[in-house]
Amino acid sequence: MNNQLTRLDSLSRALIGFDTMFDQMERRYGNSVNNNYPPHNILRLGDNDYAIQLAVTGFAKSEINVTVEDNVLIVKGESMTTDYEPEQYLHRGLATRDFSKEFPLAEHIEVSGAEIANGMLTIKLIRNVPESAKPKVIDIVDIK
């Protein structure tokens, strides 16, 4: 893995202007080993509508923070509840450990809202391509 990062680093220096792409790749795959908590789904709801669902059972709405920074959606959960006594549990299968999860967003993807219900956080996304970025048909003029 370290050898791959060295090659990636040397390649990123050779391709001027692509540094953000390499930063995104490093952010996405560099820390992916233990990034399975909390479990999540990514849904396609339509041509331009998407959603990310995270299982946040045990977290209150006030303990979850959703932000977008540099085209990266960041979801953080910080449990404020620390008054549990271990002897109260016969089995503790629901984790409430703090987490931070990042989702790189493609160009023109915007977060349109977030809601929490039944232990599931749903973040709604929409692809909003401006007219100036859409393909244009160029008329071909026949010159005689």
Domains of the chain: 1-33 (no CATH), 36-130 (2.60.40.790)
Degrees to nearest 5, angle at CA 63 with 59 and 66: 110
77-112: pLDDT as tens digits: 998 766 556 667 778 787 778 999 999 898 889 999
H-type helices in the chain, by residue range?
2-14, 19-29
Single-letter amino acid, residue 108: H
Give me the tens of pLDDT residue by residue for the chain, a chain 144 residues long: 555 555 555 554 555 455 555 565 565 555 544 568 899 999 999 988 999 999 998 899 999 999 999 889 999 999 876 655 666 777 878 777 899 999 989 888 999 999 999 999 999 999 888 888 778 888 899 998
> Distances in Å between the alpha carbon of 134 and those of 32, 98, 108, 112?
33, 41, 11, 21
